[in-house]
Amino acid sequence: MALGGLLVSAGAVVGLYVLYALVLTGQETAAAQAELRESWVDPEAVEASDEDDGDAQRATDRDDVHDEQDAEDEQDAEDDDGAEDAEAPQDGVALLEVLTADGEPGPLDDDPYVVVEGVTYDDLTRGPGHYPHSAQPGEEGNVAVAGHRTTYGSPFFHLDAVSEGDRIEVTDREGQVHRYEVREQRVVQPSDTWVVEDDPLDTGEPTLTLTTCHPRFSAAERLIVFAELVETEGG
């Protein structure tokens, strides 16, 4: 009887952990992604906003009504805002979407993922993360991006279904769309850090590398998708 009770309790604990790992962490990431999408500003809108800010500043300069104390108070407020901005989560660095060779939605989610900067534990709770040492989208070298396979929204849950010839579109903050074509998929050891180095395929071509854990619910190996840049447009 006592053993049965222990087994029931253990099962409940496991069930709660699975609920947290697969559902609650997913909700956390979904909320973070929604916030990141809201902050993804059209570059033209940013330019228009900058022009409006410039007009407002010129009007303020003409209206010289602030005394010295007002100016000091304003500077203090700006310093406080700067401190808050430094502590606030950074915006996304790119949008990432996988399409089939025919341009149809691929095996990942229908909506593009907002890629954040960094691959720490905290970074990846918000979505796929860009390896800081790797290239920026469209640049020479290797753009390396990591994502969870089974928790925190599981952005790369179906990464194994990405096939040679599929397209990966990466949109940068300037609005340029960089299209990469998938070349191959590999399973490697966690120690195989060469996959995120500058030229993992030894082709000399600009490369995109997606990494995640393998198999699902395990970190024993790494699933890797390599793609090469074929086109850049817009911006």
> CA 104: distance to chain centroid?
22
pLDDT at 200: 98
Where, residue-wise, is CATH 2.40.260.10 in the chain? 94-233
The pTM is what?
A: 0.75
Q: What share of the chain in percent tops pLDDT 70?
A: 69
Residues 138 and 131: beta-carbon distance below 8 Å:
no
Angle of CA points 226, 208, 193, to nearest 5°: 70
Residues 127 and 36: beta-carbon distance below 8 Å:
yes
Question: How do residues 17-72 score in pLDDT, each as one tens digit?
Answer: 444 455 699 999 999 999 999 999 654 544 444 454 444 444 444 344 333 334 34
Tell me which residue has tokens 């699933």: 223
Question: How do residues 216-234 score in pLDDT, each as one tens digit?
Answer: 999 999 999 999 999 999 8
Task: Out of 3.30.70.100, 2.40.50.180, 3.40.50.300, 2.40.260.10, select the CATH number for domain 94-233.
Answer: 2.40.260.10
Question: How do residues 120-136 score in pLDDT, each as one tens digit?
Answer: 999 999 999 999 999 99
93 vs 54, higher pLDDT? 93
165 vs 85, higher pLDDT? 165
